[in-house]
Structure 1
Amino acid sequence: MDYQKTYTYPSTLNQTTSDTPAPAPYTPQQTIPQYAPSQPYPTPPTPLQPTQPQIVPQPVPPINFQEQSYIENILRLNKGKVGTFYFTYTDSSEWRDRVYKGVIEAAGRDHLIISDPKTGKRYLFQMIYFDWAEFDEEIQYQYPYR
């Protein structure tokens, strides 16, 4: 469809009829009246100075903060201890279930680093595959108060 041929604009838009007077053209001498208040705006009063002495905040005594017992926090508390760590890799038929024994080097929200005490080799594991851990000694469970 050809829009230029279909739609044509009437040629009478630019013409004025004799019934309607043509508007006067704008001349630069015309100005818009400026409105100014007859009285100046009042200024707000200045605030008064307080007559009471300033209150100095007292130091807050420390709260007995206890870390929540997420797995990564418990593993972090037991850094340096030897443990046996069980992992399940659900997407792999070859690596379905794996067991690693080593020393906890570090633990984060999504990872665990253990080292093999015999070779010194370090391993980084994703916590998403972690199942559980076993320790041959007592484990630390609560954070000591600071």
Structure 2
Amino acid sequence: MDGSRILIFMDTKKGCDQITSQLRMDGWPALSIHGDKSQAERDWVLSEFKAGKSPIMTAMDVAASRRDFPGSLEDYVHRIGRTGRAGAKGTTYTFFIATNARFAKELIVILQEAGQKVNPVLAAMGRGAPPPPSWLTELF
């Protein structure tokens, strides 16, 4: 990796561990952090992530309310705000599925106000088109 770090928010502790395990089996340097880990382990994982020794970290997102896209657009904006702070730049990827379609119109407005490109699939959903048949579409 080029010094970048990837933070993956999950809705369950089990999900954090499963995704981390799969990433590691595929050869990616990943660690997970959540409430079932000891404080010492959480501190170690954070230090490894911050130092770039393990540039991929999965973490609980308590605001996600059991979905990959948060339960509100305010929570989404708060979550992506963690990507870049104090002038740092970052990239956010969000898995947007059929059950999230009700957020499409408002999300488009947020993305446009931030000067971001709007994926054509998301734009179509914002106009009322049905979500694509694929259960998962990368939009961002």
Q: TM-score, normalised by structure 2?
A: 0.19
Q: Which structure's CA Rg is the greater one?
A: 1
Q: TM-score, normalised by structure 1?
A: 0.19
